[in-house]
Structure 1
């Protein structure tokens, strides 16, 4: 099919047939294009002779995902086809950060994943694989997701952050043993000081009540 002399229109069906790309009279027509697509679309001009009217979309954005339609018209023939464009982003493995401790003796953990679209399912689990309720979740336009948990001392102090998107699953775990508050050390110091003070006081009273005998 020779498409050089045909009219080719690419539109967004899910946005009221917004004009994405328009080719007519052997050149691109840009006056009625949707502003968000200007300078981001093109046809494969060299392949129009073989009937290839595919659209090249550059600088792809999340908002580009949707239903597109290509319509081709000539003096004697016309046809159209719809295409669903799905935008997916595969990011990195989850990363765990220790944010500190709270008054309850828990360790505040944050799990973060970057570069994923659609938004992945992020979970906190204990070492037995049981899901734990997350305390806060932040979604930064889908690409960066954070999930926080206050972890407490357990049988082995191991906690797991799990990421799932479709058939993909990634995990990262942390042992919070070294991050738990060390209350024993903090209490021991004042106790020792109190004991020393008491011993000094006892020695003072003993010496005062039992004076040394005068030498002959």
Structure 2
């Protein structure tokens, strides 16, 4: 429609005056070039994500697979920076800009694949600043083709103090505020940072530790942050400051030796609030199970209770019932057990490294004992034993009765040498009796 209307106007102007005709003859090639130049085929935007410091390939290929060895194509970023220019056999005679300095030596193309229409480029050692909208332009193709690629370079957190970035956090200042033989209070401080950094403590294994709420103050658009933490074991602790906006991360370490860092019974040390020995009692018992109760009163800090068997396995129990009175805690923990074993209730106060326990042996009459034998075996095997014994007595009585009635004869072998004369005498007497009869 644009070309047809343009032609009509031109024909009309050609018929009006020769001067206008001459002018249009000069302008017509330019008009034709502009119309063709505006006929652009723009595919969908391709998004490429890469980490900072790695190499990335930005794809650009003609669907026709025609050779572009003698074609001009230009790569730009955000329509401002010239990333790469491929000149076929002429050298910048059409006034195209040269490659920007920040991309010199970092960008290359695939020369062997130009014959198949591949104009992709590779950017090496990417930086966060390389992120942006890239275009691959073939200005001399008919029709002209432009490909759009969005590059996102994700920054890696590292120490960027050497880059002199304004507001980058300096190395955190860590110190010990207070210490006992059971715990230590550590402080981490960062001053004059922008954007506002995030602070966290971690142990030597890299586990992020639960700390107090950070104290943040702002002064002249810069932030001062203090983060305290209480640690209870000997370890190497690290305070990490992170500024995500500039991908800056820096840390300081401190080694803490906690003398009393082992859990043990500390009642003899007269520590205020130390949990007493738990009181364990059976609340209810049947043939197959028993309900046990463990109770600790007047403890501070709040103790944690758990049940375990004789092998040290922690058992699943009900939710503990906790009540507080005058800043002291009473804790009750119930559990149902179904086998005969020795059960232990353990009370632990982590902050003061105190641990105390109480044991109770439970015989569950109809339950399964620890070694998988049957508890109450006398009762369970009594009935079968009585039945079996009765059957044995019955068969013995029947056997004796049959022998007594003569239905069963028991033959016993005797020594022939000793029985010979005796048997012969009995035979003569037996014959004499028969003759008399």
TM-score (norm 2): 0.26
**Structure 1 or 2: larger helix share?**
2
**Structure 1 or 2: larger strand share?**
1
Larger radius of gyration: 2
